[in-house]
Amino acid sequence: MSTAVWPPLPPDALKKAEDESTARELAWLLDSLQETLASLKSGLEECYALLAPIEPGSTLVISSPRSESIKGHITRVGTRIVKGTLALRLRTHAPLNLTLNTTHPLLLSPLTTLRTLLNQSLDMVAITRWTGDRHSAPFISSQLHLLHSLLLEAISVLKGPNLLTPVHSAESGTSTPNMISAPPGQAWFESPPDPETFTPPLPPTLSLHLTLLDSTLLLTLRVLEPTSTQPTPISRFALAIGAQRRLEHDEMDEVFLYRGEEVRVREKVRVEGSADPSLLSLGAKLGALERVVAERRKGLQVLMGVGEEDGDD
């Protein structure tokens, strides 16, 4: 069964009526988006609060399952690691017990980036609500596009870098491969921690790098050797006859510039820390906010009669 208007409207009148109906729907949606923006502001503030430097922070286990390579724990307060101990028993390095120097907290650059993105998102919401024309569909659509981009970038920071080798989970004891693109500026060799961050000081033959992976902390240790170092005749002979093997990993054939010196990675161990409740909650909240913005933006584009690419201009 179909419904028809009687008496039938001329095409011009029907088009005018459709346009007026769409305009009313668009006006209603723009007004309702003000409530959505207020809700987004509250949600972003909750996310920001989860990164606040509130004592006692989150104490996390950092230990490799089924081996003694790495055993220890660290405490995160806000965007910094403020205390912790690590016992290292690596295959190509002398045993080492490290204690974090409480006067030199370790800054987590991904969380600093994340906090900046949350600040920018809050500013974007404030500009959208109070600065521009709240009744201008193109303006609101453009602002929602920018806000959506910020939220996607924040989520990508929590997801973490591209991993080509297995990661040991302190929670499950399993190893899983990860294939996520690494954010620029977070490479381990670009911004190594101050050696004085630890007691005893971190030796130049050891790299320690903390980042994020799926809303949890990921510790990567690398044993380094200068490219100028030549293997001894005994070592070359042992490698040739198979009595000694190189430790295989995804960086074994690469050369890196670390603290002004070209180095190779002899050994590489990754350990995923225990679950951080605040970061897990932050990831869930950001995902929910991103979906809300995507849905509202899509509805606005439908009423504006534009596609995804047109709406981004």
> Phi and psi dihedrals of 198, rounded to 5?
-120, 155
Q: Is 195's pLDDT higher than 60?
A: yes
- Give the pTM: 0.80
Each residue's pLDDT tens digit, 142-157: 999 999 999 999 999 9
Dihedral, 76, 80, 84, 89 alpha carbons, nearest 10: 110
Residue 257 bridge partners (DSSP):
262
Instruction: List beta partners, residue 263.
Output: 226, 256
pLDDT at residue number 245: 58
Beta strands per DSSP E along 145-260: 167-169, 175-176, 198-199, 206-213, 216-226, 256-258
Residue 308: pLDDT band with limits 50, 70, 90:
low
Provide the token pair at 249: 């990993």
pLDDT single digits (tens) 270-302: 999 999 999 999 999 999 999 999 999 998 888
Average pLDDT of span 84-104: 93
pLDDT score of 108 more than 60: yes
pLDDT (tens digit per residue) in 56-74 = 999 999 998 888 899 999 9
Predicted confidence band of residue 171 (pLDDT cuts 50, 70, 90): very low
**Residue of higher predicted confidence among 306 and 115:** 115
**Better-scored residue on pLDDT, 311 or 67:** 67
Does residue 266 register a pLDDT over 50?
Answer: yes
**pLDDT band (50, 70, 90) for residue 24:** confident
**Measured on CA atoms in the order 74, 77, 78, 82, is the torsion positive or negative?**
negative
| 249-260 tens-digit pLDDT | 778 888 999 999
Which pLDDT value is given to residue 232?
Answer: 52
Domain boundaries, the chain: 21-160+193-202+274-304
3-state secondary structure of 5: coil
Determine the average pLDDT of the residues in 8-35.
71
DSSP-derived secondary structure for 155-177: HHHHH-----S-EEETTT--EE-
pLDDT band at 18 (very low <50, low <70, confident <90, very high): low
pLDDT value of position 276 = 93
Q: Among 13-22, 70-79, 238-247, where is mean pLDDT lowest?
A: 238-247
What local confidence, expressed as pLDDT, does residue 13 receive? 58
In the predicted structure, residue 45 carries a pLDDT above the cut 60: yes
Cis peptide before 8 (omega within 30 of 0): no
Task: Work out the angle at residue 80's Cα, subtended by the Cα atoms of residues 77 and 83, and round it to the nearest 5 degrees.
Answer: 75
Percent of the chain at pLDDT above 90? Answer: 58
Separation of alpha carbons 193 and 188, rounded Å: 9
Do 64 and 269 meet the contact criterion of CB atoms below 8 Å apart?
A: yes
- pLDDT, averaged across the chain: 83
Give pLDDT, residue 165.
Answer: 44
